[in-house]
Structure 1
Amino acid sequence: MSTLSSLAAAFRQTSYPVGGHGRRNIQILKEALDGLDGKLESDIYGTGESIESFQAEMAAYLGKEKAVFFPSGTMAQQIALRIWCDEKGSRKVAYHPLSHLEIHEEDGLKELHQIESILLGEKDRLIRLDEIIELKDDIACLLIELPQREIGGDLPLFEELVAISAHCRAKGIMLHLDGARLYEVLPYYQKTAAELCTLFDSVYISFYKGIGGIAGAILAGDEAFTAKSKVWKRRYGGDLISLYPYYLSASYYFKQREPKMGQYFEEAVELAVLFNSCQHVTTLPRVPVTNMFHVHIAMPKEKLEPILLELYAETSVGLIHYLRESSEGICSFEISIGDAFAQIPKDRLKLTFERLAAVLREG
């Protein structure tokens, strides 16, 4: 058995995982559908009262004219950028070097749409307004990700977003929000989703990340934009005969968890303090700005994994199921707080970090 699978197996045996909403199993769907009338009619190829009602609710939440449910965010965002490229007559879009479109989608924009991506800024920080202003390429659309996941969930100041939005509108650049974790940034900004989304021409949100649904996404914008997105959704094969397991579960968990984002944020700040109290450990950001952050431990993987295995066995608190190791011998992982954190007894959480701190001091 590999060391990775050993750590993952030990994590699965713990009673108190630190991150997320709990185990992803069939119970997620069963719970979401349990209270619904079995005679509720399903959607058919993207139409029907239930899906259209949900889309209208999401459009209102985001402050946009219309919203369309997609089976995946990858599909939704590629389509959004294609629409803006067609409208502006340009095959160039700009986004952060660690955008999901750049590192996780196998060159989907290039291979499917012949769209050129302009990587803006540096990998280890947010895109800056001055870099957007100084951009020489004639781009159709700028994509901003909130929060910027691959650098610890960092966020620009709201005033910076306002300035970026104003610049894009003055220059005729469409501004798209990769809001996969949009709900998670609202406590930090102290804004509603609609207030934030008014800065953007189009918005994508996910229902499986912070919300914990099965899968699915919403793409929102004005009526003309969403009408075009439906055509592209059909071209992509996204109009399944029925999508109800996805949007009904999305609706169920959205209602449960969107109001808890402030709680998750506060708990992330609390947890980051515990990690930073341990020698050789730092979080990125040091003080989280959402319910997610990255943890960096200055110890090689082969030395850290046995420590975690022993810690899990002793406390039954699971910190993480994987470790990434950089060339400098520093391990890192991502923490995203959900319902699970509140289930950990405080004395057990305290014991876990006391033990971790003691071992890391010795190591």
Structure 2
Amino acid sequence: MKENHPLKQAYSRSAYPLVGHGKRNVQVLKDALAGVDGDLDSDMYGSGKVIEDFEARMAELLGKPAAVFFPSGTMAQQIALRIWCDERGMRRVAYHPLCHLELHEEDGLKELHGIAPVLLADRERTIGLADVEQMPEEVACLLLELPQREIGGQLPDYDELVAISAYCREKGIKLHLDGARLLEILPYYGKTAAEVCDLFDSVYMSFYKGVGGIAGAILAGDEAFAARSKVWKRRHGGDLISLYPYILSADYYYSRTAHKMAQYYEEAKELAALYNACSGVATKPSVPVSNMFHVHVRLPKEQLESILLSICENTGIGMSSYVAAAGEDASCFEVSIGDRYAGVPKDALRQAFRSLAVQIQSLAARA
């Protein structure tokens, strides 16, 4: 959506935006650095106390022998898959049709590494054991995204994950976790990060999505995997002379938000219930399994934009900064709960949802 779109402008000015942690502006970095000793030495080309200490902490969190900090998850995941393909001597991997690598990376995996994807499951559900067992081609690695963002943050049952992991190990298929939002799924599974990651050979986690940092990612696995990932990081140009602004902000915001994931999860379920109480509105999943979900409305995009703009201007509640078309007479948007939601007054929230229900019903009656 264009920066000057009326809904986006209204949302940015709203008193109570419902999603995310806050505005992405320079203050995010200033807050992260405010308590840092100015004499702290920066990292240099991937070495130094500031990066090595953080990598060690993240390796411990994820239950892996080693971890490497990357400037982006796109870089980290392509490298992970390249390593596993090289080890197996095979340039094929499997993942979901709506995987980030397939949709948002300009075919980087194919063009930079010559790796071909095998797409599993369909566009409406997560990958299951049967999909893996019935793969039409042999692959070096299977990537699972938890949660599956493009279908509302859906998750497979934990027992299904265990079964997929066991099958991959039996067949010699490496299992990689796209855990960009790993922390957000832990309350639903009732597991630690290390317990989930133990099912996988390698794992990536983002520090800007649910965590709220500026940028950056961690890639973790065994010592040999980490050593090879550092070589590929240099080849990709990811060894900037210093990455400390990203590392320090990742550390700061991780410390601020990691312990709140259960709170965000409960708030997401509360908010989803308010949407689902409105006629013509349904969330996907119907009950969230993390702090994110999608809202689907049986109205054309332009009509829903008009309603959300009206609610924003009249109640101060910003439900979304954008709307996407989901068919001729349907539209949708994504919700991801962060620090903002807890500060929204309940009376203003109820007023906003009364307005949403009334305006949808009014349009339905005229249809």
| TM tier, smaller | over 0.9
Aligned match of 1:312 = 312
Shift of 1:78: 0.1
Structure 2 counterpart SS, 1:191: coil
Once the two structures are TM-superposed, the CA of residue 216 in structure 1 deviates from its matched residue by 0.2
In 1, the alpha carbon distance for the partners of 2:362 and 2:131 equals 45
Which residue of structure 1 lines up, in the alignment, with residue 264 of structure 2? 264
User: Which secondary structure state, in structure 1, belongs to the residue aligned with residue 340 of structure 2?
Assistant: helix
Segment drifting more, 346-355 vs 195-204: 346-355
Q: CA deviation at 1:4?
A: 7.2
Q: Which runs of 5+ in 2 are unaligned?
A: none
Write the distance in 2 (CA, Å) between the matches of 1:301 and 1:194. 41
Checking the alignment, whether the CA contact within 8 Å between 2:322 and 2:333 is kept in structure 1 is yes
Counterpart residue number, 1:217: 217
1:104-253 matches, cutoff 5 A: 104-253=104-253
Partner amino acid, structure 1, of 2:17: P
Q: How many angstroms apart in 2 are the aligned matches of 1:169 and 1:303? A: 50
Report the counterpart of residue 280 of structure 1 in structure 2. Answer: 280
Shift in Å, 1:327: 2.6
The 2-side partners of 1:2 and 1:175 are apart by: 38
In structure 2, relative to structure 1, the CA distance for the partners of 1:2 and 1:252 (3 Å cut) is closer
Residue 151 of structure 1 and its aligned partner are, at CA, apart by: 0.5
Would the aligned equivalents of 2:3 and 2:9 in 1 still touch at CA under 8 Å? no
Letter in 2 for 1:209: K
- Segment drifting more, 308-317 vs 96-105: 308-317
Deviation for aligned residue 1:2: 7.1
**1:30 & 1:334 partners in 2: Cα distance?**
28
Q: Which moved more, 1:131-140 or 1:313-322?
A: 131-140
Tell me what 1:23 maps to.
23
Q: Please say which of residues 128-137 and 247-256 is displaced more in the overlay.
A: 128-137
Give yes or no for contact 1:4–1:322 (8 Å, CA) kept in 2.
no
Shift, 1:328, TM fit? 2.9
Distance 2:85 2:287 in 1: 38
Match of 1:337 in 2: 337
Determine the structure 1 residue equivalent to 2:9. 9
Q: Distance in 2 between matches of 1:135 and 1:309?
A: 46
- Root-mean-square deviation over aligned CA pairs: 1.2
Distance 1:56 1:360 in 2: 51
State how many pairs are aligned. Answer: 363
Matched AA of 2:148: Q
TM-superposition CA deviations, 1:320-348 (whole Å, max 9, x none): 01110123321100000000000101111
What residue identity is the alignment partner of 2:261?
Answer: M
Identity %: 62
Change in Cα spacing, 1:152 to 1:4, as seen in structure 2 (3 Å) is farther
1:256 partner letter: R
Whole-angstrom distance in 1 between the partners of 2:160 and 2:3:
43
Q: Deviations over 1:241-300 (max 9, x none)?
A: 100000100000001101000000000000000001111100000000000000001101
- SS of the equivalent of 1:339 reads coil
What is the 5 A alignment of 1:67-106? 67-106=67-106
CA distance, structure 1, for counterparts of residue 307 and residue 172 of structure 2: 54
- Which letter does structure 2 place at the counterpart of 1:330? A
TM-score (norm 2): 0.97
SS of match in other structure, 2:5: helix
- Residue 298 of structure 2 corresponds to 298
Deviation sequence 1:174-199 (CA, Å, 0-9, x none): 00000000000000000000000000
